[in-house]
């Protein structure tokens, strides 16, 4: 199982150990969900957060849904009070979209949809090299670094960073992102017709904004964390075209 090292036992008490935090889970026969048990035993593991999301950990530990909603709304409100742009460490900015704060609704359906879309696995062999982790070149880019905004690595490689490999800025946090590059997600996007300068047979740059097809993708929407637009198109977005949920702000990233 990915993220765990399995130690075979007698078939009744096999154990799984998380490679990152070291927590060991005893696996018994019957219904057994390692991620849920991991969240219950070690709910501060950064790998767990990036792989499954904080809402998953909260539910596994019976955190009240109202408290989860409250935490997200606090961030929305903070951005509004900062005149629609919240700057982190004088480098990364969280910018509001045209969605009005009072229209934002946080629901369990939203949390479930975010989790469903966020953790869909893309096949690395179907992606060009410029969309793969710049460290291992085996997995798709899955993480953006805070505060510089560079998105260059998969989860496993990013967890080893103390400094960004691109700009050498200190890495204070990591944000899980979802690049919309697979066919299933692209079918949900309402793309503009091809221009006369581009025939239908031309191969598109996978980094291009999926809305205008002119600029490169450079924004991650909050709270769903889908990546498929340039800054200009993101500013005009109030609903994610992939998961159809409210978008209240976006962060500029560098692929």
> Alpha carbon of 185 to those of 35, 117, 180: distances in Å?
25, 9, 6
Q: What is the pLDDT of residue 200?
A: 41
Q: List beta partners, residue 163.
A: 170
- pLDDT, residue 71, reads 54
- Could you list the mean pLDDT of each consecutive 10-residue stretch along the chain, which spans 255 residues? 54 76 76 83 86 81 57 55 53 61 50 47 64 90 89 92 89 86 50 42 72 91 88 87 83 89
83-99 confidence digits (pLDDT tens)? 555 555 556 666 666 55
Instruction: Check residue 81 and give its pLDDT.
Output: 56
Domains, the chain, in order of start with CATH, read: 4-60 (1.10.1170.10), 65-252 (3.30.40.10)
Q: CA–CA separation, 253 vs 255, rounded Å?
A: 7
Q: CA-CA distance, 160 to 174, in Å (whole number)?
A: 11
**Count of CB atoms within 10 A of residue 238's CB?**
13
Closest by alpha carbon to 131, among 208, 212, 191?
Answer: 208
pTM summary value: 0.68
- Return d(Cα 6, Cα 247) in angstroms, integer: 40
Range 166-200 burial, b when 16+ CB lie within 10 A, else e: eeebebeebbbbbbbbbeebeebeeeeeeeeeeee
Q: How many residues does the chain have?
A: 255
How many CB atoms neighbour CB 78 within 10 A?
Answer: 11
Q: Of 217, 241, 246, 243, which Cα lies nearest the Cα of 230?
A: 217
How far apart are the two ends of the chain, measured CA to CA in Å? 29
pLDDT value for 22? 85
Please give the radius of gyration of the chain, using alpha carbons only, rounded to the nearest integer: 19
- Residue 158 · residue 145 · CB < 8 Å: yes
């Amino acid at each position: 199982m990915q993220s765990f090292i399995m130690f075979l036992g007698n078939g009744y008490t096999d154990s799984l150990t998380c490679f990152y935090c070291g927590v060991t889970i005893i696996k018994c026969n019957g219904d057994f969900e390692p991620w849920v048990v991991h969240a219950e035993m070690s709910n501060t593991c950064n790998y767990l957060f990036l792989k499954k999301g904080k809402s998953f950990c909260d539910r596994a530990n019976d955190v009240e849904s109202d408290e989860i909603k409250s935490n997200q709304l606090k961030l929305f409100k903070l951005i509004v009070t900062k005149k629609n742009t919240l700057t982190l460490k004088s480098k990364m900015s969280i910018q509001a979209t045209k969605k009005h704060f009072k229209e934002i609704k946080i629901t369990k359906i939203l949390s479930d949809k975010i989790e469903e879309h966020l953790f869909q696995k893309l096949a690395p062999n179907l992606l060009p090299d410029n969309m793969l982790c710049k460290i291992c070149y085996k997995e798709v880019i899955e993480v953006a670094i805070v505060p510089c905004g560079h998105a260059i690595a998969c989860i496993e490689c990013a967890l080893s960073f103390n400094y960004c490999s691109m700009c050498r800025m200190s890495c204070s946090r990591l944000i899980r992102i979802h690049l919309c590059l697979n066919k299933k997600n692209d079918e949900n996007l309402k793309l503009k017709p091809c221009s006369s300068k581009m025939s239908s047979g031309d191969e598109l740059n996978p980094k291009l904004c999926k809305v205008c097809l002119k600029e490169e993708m450079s924004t991650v929407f909050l709270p769903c964390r889908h990546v498929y637009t340039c800054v200009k198109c993101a500013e005009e977005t109030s609903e994610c075209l992939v998961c159809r949920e409210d978008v209240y702000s976006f962060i500029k990233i560098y692929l």
